[in-house]
Amino acid sequence: MTDALCHLVVDGNDVLEFKLVRSVDDLENEETSFGPDMCHQVFGENENIFGYTDLHIKLYYSAGSLQTYLGIDYTDKIEPSKSEGMKADDVEGALTKVIAPGYITNLDHFVSQLKKDESFTPHGKMLHAFNVTPFDGESRSFEVYYCETSTQGFLEYHQRLQTFLLWYVDAASFIDVDDDQWTFFTVFEKYQTSEGSVRYATAAYATVYRYYAYPNHQRPRISQVLTLPPFRKLGICAQMLQAVYSHFIIIPEVIDLTVEDPSPDFQRVRDYVDAKNCERLPAFQPAALYLGFSAEMAIQARNKFKINKKQARRIYEILRLKNTNTSDKTAYLNYRLDVKNRLNAPFQKKKLEMKKLQKVLKPEEFVATVTVTGANETQARLSSQYHSLEIEYRRVIHRMEQD
């Protein structure tokens, strides 16, 4: 591409503007705007858009029912006849593939559709209500709802909601809503307008798939979790996750709850919720923690909160660190060794397998099969892994201590 055309290339993240519109005033209020974290799942790996001058893409949603407006503005567009056949990227075509059908392109029509939110109420069954008081504001009310694919009207709403995943969750994909094993948890802010009427605004959601477990059990797996940007840093995800737990732990057929490829941010929320829950259990009291991870810890975590064994071990490590006086060199050393032994276990297993292999292979075959890792390299790897883990654990502990 020539330098003369470079000004026609923009980063899609810079030209996209989102709004969750509660009133007409929000359309002119810059504070209600937010942008994407990524756009490669819509506009391609390099996230660039070619062919426009002063491009501005507006994706506005009514705050409750998520009626959608798409506006694409620009001052100039490249013409193939004047640029050796080069065409501008089809922005609307790319967006049409991912946003729900029935979107609006006329802003006045969108404004008229805002009235639908006056009568909008969340779909499904309310599971949990909670209040949040930000450091710089008044108390805000939220409610968590549960839906299934059969919940009347929900799938049409979900079709609009799921598009947010592509802008905020890497490797996101839309789920198969024809599969009735999917369940949905949505969070809404319940607020009052200046006239005093009650309205709802979409804030967050999660999808959970109920996997079958022999002979007649379930192992639900949390799949997608998203808190919309205007509602972050309010503790909403933790409240939603607790509502997911509360829904499933009373179902006898549920063995445990798992999470599909958790992001670091979600793992941190999960650790916080699980640690807060488990520190009330007898098996996780300080005296028991100092004795090391036990089968009883795994049993109590599963029976009470449907936490799987791998996550129960992680929670043990967080709570033991929380209760360890790191000024006590012996206690702190014992803790670090305990965690490092767990981190090193897979490598020790591999070492044993290689010893078995050595017995059945000729020396030259064995040398060709294995690259021996030196003791210093192993020690450095363990130290690095442990250091990263302790930083994560301390972030969880810090949040627990802020409550």
Catalytically active residues are 260
Positive or negative torsion for Cα 399, 207, 280, 341: negative
Identify the H or E element spanning 277.
helix 264-278
Number of Cβ within 10 Å of residue 165's Cβ equals: 21
80's tokens: 């193939």
State whether residue 368 is helix, strand or coil: helix
Give the residue carrying structure tokens 């029935």: 102
Cis-peptide, bond into residue 229, ω within 30° of zero: no
Give the residue carrying structure tokens 């980063």: 11
How far is it, in rounded angstroms, from Cα 246 to Cα 250? 7
Cis-peptide, bond into residue 101, ω within 30° of zero: no
State whether residue 21 is helix, strand or coil: strand
23's tokens: 């009133």
Give the residue carrying structure tokens 């710089």: 136
